Amino acid sequence: MTGISITMMIIALVTVWGGIIVSMIHLQRNPDELSGELADEE
């Protein structure tokens, strides 16, 4: 693989995994109150 393809692969991996990590942090700080038992009450 060339240097450009490795660079693009690293950028893609950082984008995907970074988004997953940011989503997990966001859900921990702001839990979804409409899921689980509370969703059945509405």
Angle at the Cα of 33 from the Cα atoms of 40 and 17, rounded to 5 degrees: 120
The 10s digit of each residue's pLDDT in 9-31 is 999 999 999 999 999 999 899 88
pLDDT score of 40 more than 70: no
**What pLDDT is attached to residue 22?**
96
Mean pLDDT of 24-40: 76
Give the pLDDT band (50/70/90) at residue 32.
Answer: confident
